[in-house]
Amino acid sequence: MTTIENDKVAYVTYTGTFPDTGEVFDSNVGGEPLQFLVGHGNMIQGFEQEMLGASEGDTREFTLTPDNAYGHHRDEAIQDVPRSQFPEEVDVEQALQDEIPLAAYDEHGRPMQFKISAIDGDIVKVDFNHPMAGKTLHFSVNVVSIRDAVPEELEHGHAHGPGGHHH
Ligand code: ZN
């Protein structure tokens, strides 16, 4: 029987909740299954670990501490940036008030999301912590189907096709 293991492509539906409040933060139940290539760093580590060995039709429930999910909140990830460094079209007051996520690029050109956590005169406090940092997350995951990855997917390190990666 096919189970979730490295180099398989898994299709799952899931609901993520905060265990302390029961609030749903994400779910794709009733929509397209999430598709991912297992063992290539496409998912948070704890999620994949908990799903290894599951078969089609299985449902797994698990809770991930920040260590196994999005890491801990780090004070170093909050930085003071002079207001003059923001492009003119960015309304920092609005972004603070509406908690609008903004993006910057690191030295490798990778996008980094951040939000503005405070404004003090000409200094804008910018928070690069992942929005899920420091949070314990509960997941209920149903395995819809599992298939072998094709060589091209293994080469690229991600799943292709509907619900997956497009080129
Ligand atoms: Zn690809």
What pLDDT, in 10s, does the model give residues 75-109? 999 999 999 999 888 899 999 999 888 988 888 88
Residues surrounding ion ligand 1 at CB below 5 Å: 156, 165
Measure 163 CA to ligand 1 centroid, in angstroms.
13
Determine the pLDDT at residue 134: 95
Give me the chain's average pLDDT, please.
93
Tokens 């598709």: give the residue: 35
What are the residue boundaries of the structural domains of the chain, listed by start? 8-70+133-156, 75-127
Measure 52 CA to ligand 1 centroid, in angstroms.
23
Measure 13 CA to ligand 1 centroid, in angstroms.
22
Q: Name which of 33, 65, 35 is nearest 138 in CA terms.
A: 65
Mean pLDDT of 124-128: 95
Measure 161 CA to ligand 1 centroid, in angstroms.
9
Determine the pLDDT at residue 70: 93
* Percent of the chain whose pLDDT exceeds 70: 99
Measure 160 CA to ligand 1 centroid, in angstroms.
6
- For 145, residues 6+ apart whose C-beta sits below 8 A from its C-beta are 10, 11, 33, 56
CA distance 68 to 135: 10
Tokens for 96, please give them. Answer: 């603070």
Q: Do domains 8-70+133-156 and 75-127 have the same CATH topology?
A: no
Select 75-127's CATH number: 2.60.120, 2.40.10, 3.30.300, 1.10.3470: 2.40.10
- For 89, residues 6+ apart whose C-beta sits below 8 A from its C-beta are none
Q: What is the CATH number of domain 8-70+133-156?
A: 3.10.50.40
